[in-house]
């Protein structure tokens, strides 16, 4: 396997792929799994991403049990289904309560209905696979959620250890604390396996882009702080133009090489492999084979093209005009990691301010980049983020002040210990989100959300709160008098959801899946935004023309039934960073 990346030359039993959303983490994981299987190894590929798209990429309907990948002997794949994992977790906890009353069981069942339970249950499945091993396979490859979500899960074992040591009695959103010792031991074993270089290599995937490299460097440091120093770096999508007369190609190459030349020191110390940019989407076995082995590229994937028609789609200025005419509201910017949600959110906020409106711009993303994108202050624009630590401290203080006001010292101590649960953060973030939703009744609020999987969990929490509140309060207050955060999200006069995507197969499919999730919650997206479209750039380089043809096909797919409204932001020679650049996008 000398022609493959160095991290596949003599891989340990487990390979753990992580990185910022949109860098091609799943593509690299799939291509690696195929390469190892075709070298004669038995391979299991597992996705731990709540918004997994392994099925589409491999062309196989997957479940929470290993299934063979047709066309690749020796390769099996599976998804860890968060909802199925949570249901199995609830069943295990309730099975330990044989002597409990039905009222006690109902209380625990309610405690186990939150998004935090879903997160930890999914991690529990992952930990069991990592710590216990999977018999019959030479290598197990884990394709994880975008970085912020993954780091949050990896920090859970340490958080739970401290919590359980100080609070062995009582219960939380994970059920009775006495039943959590097994999970704690399993989590600890999983972290030991992850940190053992003889067992696992952590593959940090990034792109030749300053923001992606900065995120990878931050992840490398945070993983190291968790004791996971056995890392290697893969830079995906490295572009080198052999044609000197295409200014677009020259700009893309120059920008990428400059980003790599200024790579953070934390990444320079890591072993590194570069993977070239390809002209086709990474969907299907032929494309995935060709990602790491160009000599395997079928002729049909790279046919030279003539001219490529430019899509006739309105720009961000038209989008902001339509939003501004409403006078107020919550604008939620959602989508897969790496599609440019933060840029779109910042540009929309700046555009609304330029049209005379005061705007509150915030983010729920654990890896927030708003300040870097804006690069300055603007009168009429208030910028902040929902910081989990700050919100947790605020929630704990308020809870102690209200629920703890009439408790004796022993009761206050018990309440304080219960609030040390890692699940408190989930509740606190939801309360902050609810405040922002309500604020948009009289002004503009633009919310840059976390990548899809993390946002879906937040929406689940919103739905669970709605059901609990309406069940508990509606009989006493009368129908129609309760307005929950979910009801505000469902109201098109209050909330406009923007789905951001790239004009590529996987991001479009993921946005379509997110749209279906939202529609099941009776939330109808206002518009789709296609970001960084090369079409219309005038590029003549064959590989870029191939990508433009693929873009046109995806725009037609969106126009033919996915989006009520579609807007397009063209590729920019320079990344739109700073207030002046953002203003140009929406002028």
Cα distance between residue 351 and residue 347, in whole Å: 6
Tell me which of 27, 147, 150, 172 is the catalytic residue. 27
Class of residue 156 by CB neighbours under 10 A (exposed 0-12, middle 13-18, buried 19+): buried
Neighbours of 370 (CB within 10 A): 19
Residue 24 annotated in active site = yes
Cα distance between residue 138 and residue 195, in whole Å: 19
Tell me which of 20, 25, 336, 341 is the catalytic residue. 25
Cα distance between residue 141 and residue 44, in whole Å: 6
DSSP string of 306-367?
---PPP----HHHHHHHHHTT-SEEEEEE-STTS-HHHHHHHHHHHHHHTT--EEEEE--TT
Using the structure block, give the residue that is written with the tokens 């047709």. Answer: 70
Could you tell me the sign of the dihedral formed by the alpha carbons of 48, 50, 56, 57, in that order?
negative
Tell me which of 19, 21, 22, 279 is the catalytic residue. 22
Of 24, 512, 585, 583, the residue nearest 287 (C-alpha): 24
Residue 181 annotated in active site = no
Residue 32 annotated in active site = no
Tell me which of 21, 24, 114, 338 is the catalytic residue. 24
Tell me which of 48, 49, 449, 455 is the catalytic residue. 49
Tell me which of 18, 26, 113, 117 is the catalytic residue. 26
Residue 424 annotated in active site = no
Tell me which of 48, 421, 505, 506 is the catalytic residue. 506
Residue 384 annotated in active site = no
Q: How far is CA 416 from CA 112, 161, 170, 208, in A?
A: 20, 17, 12, 46
Cα distance between residue 478 and residue 81, in whole Å: 38
Could you tell me the sign of the dihedral formed by the alpha carbons of 30, 35, 38, 44, in that order?
negative
Structure tokens of 31? 């291509």
Structure tokens of 282? 């990474």
Q: How far is CA 473 from CA 70, 78, 482, in A?
A: 52, 41, 8
Residue 49 annotated in active site = yes
Order across the sheet with 329-334: list the strands: 381-383, 359-363, 444-448, 329-334, 495-502, 527-533, 566-570
Residue 25 annotated in active site = yes
Cα distance between residue 528 and residue 511, in whole Å: 9
Catalytic annotation, residues: 22, 24-27, 49, 506
């Amino acid at each position: 396997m000398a022609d493959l990346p160095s991290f596949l030359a003599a891989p340990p039993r487990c390979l753990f792929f992580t990185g910022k959303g949109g860098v091609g983490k799943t593509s690299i994981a799939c291509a690696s799994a195929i390469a190892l299987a075709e070298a004669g190894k038995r391979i299991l590929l597992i996705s731990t991403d709540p918004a997994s798209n392994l099925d589409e990429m491999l062309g196989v309907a997957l479940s929470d049990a290993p299934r063979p990948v047709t066309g690749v002997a020796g390769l099996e794949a599976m998804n860890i289904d968060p909802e199925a994992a949570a249901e199995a977790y609830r069943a295990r906890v309730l099975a330990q309560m044989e002597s409990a009353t039905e009222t006690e069981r109902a209380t625990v069942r309610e405690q186990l209905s939150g998004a935090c339970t879903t997160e930890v249950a999914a991690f529990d499945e992952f930990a069991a696979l990592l710590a216990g091993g999977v018999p019959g396979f030479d290598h197990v490859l884990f394709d994880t959620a975008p970085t912020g979500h993954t780091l949050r899960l990896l920090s859970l074992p340490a958080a739970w250890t401290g919590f359980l040591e100080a609070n062995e009695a009582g219960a939380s959103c994970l059920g009775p604390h006495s039943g959590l010792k097994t999970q704690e031991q399993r989590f600890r074993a999983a972290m030991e396996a992850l940190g053992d270089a003889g067992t696992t290599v952590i593959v940090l995937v990034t792109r030749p882009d300053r923001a992606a490299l900065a995120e990878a460097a931050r992840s490398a440091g945070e993983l190291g702080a968790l004791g996971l120093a056995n890392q290697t770096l893969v830079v995906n999508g490295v572009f080198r133009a052999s044609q000197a007369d295409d200014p677009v190609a020259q700009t893309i190459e120059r920008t990428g090489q400059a980003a790599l030349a200024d790579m953070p020191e934390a990444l320079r110390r890591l072993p590194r492999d570069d993977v070239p940019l390809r002209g086709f989407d990474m969907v299907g076995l032929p494309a995935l084979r060709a990602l790491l082995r160009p000599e395997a590229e079928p002729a049909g994937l790279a046919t030279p093209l003539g001219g490529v028609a430019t899509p006739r789609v309105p720009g961000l200025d038209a989008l902001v005009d339509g939003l501004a005419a409403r006078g107020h509201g919550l604008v939620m910017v959602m989508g897969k990691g790496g599609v440019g949600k933060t840029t779109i959110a910042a540009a929309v906020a700046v555009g609304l301010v330029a049209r005379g409106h005061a705007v509150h711009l915030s983010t729920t993303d654990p890896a927030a980049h708003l300040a870097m994108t804006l690069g300055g202050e603007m009168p009429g624009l208030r910028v902040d983020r929902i910081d989990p630590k700050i919100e947790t401290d605020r929630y704990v203080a308020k809870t102690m002040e209200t629920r703890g006001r009439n408790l004796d010292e022993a009761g206050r101590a018990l309440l304080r210990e219960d609030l040390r649960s890692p699940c408190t953060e989930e509740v606190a973030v939801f309360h902050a989100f609810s405040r922002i939703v309500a604020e948009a009744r009289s002004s503009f609020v633009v919310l840059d959300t976390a990548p899809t999987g993390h946002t879906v969990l937040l929406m689940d929490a919103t739905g669970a709160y709605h059901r609990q509140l309406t069940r508990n309060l509606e009989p006493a207050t009368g129908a129609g008098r309760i307005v929950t955060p979910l009801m505000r999200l469902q109201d098109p006069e209050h909330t406009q959801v923007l789905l951001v995507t790239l004009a590529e197969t996987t991001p479009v499919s993921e946005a379509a899946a997110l749209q279906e999730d939202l529609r099941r919650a009776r939330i109808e997206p206002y518009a789709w935004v296609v970001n960084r479209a090369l079409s219309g750039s005038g590029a003549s380089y064959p590989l870029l023309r191939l990508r433009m043809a693929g873009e046109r096909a995806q725009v037609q797919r969106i126009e033919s039934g996915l989006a009520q409204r579609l807007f397009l932001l063209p590729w920019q020679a320079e990344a739109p960073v700073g207030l002046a650049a953002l203003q140009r996008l929406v002028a």
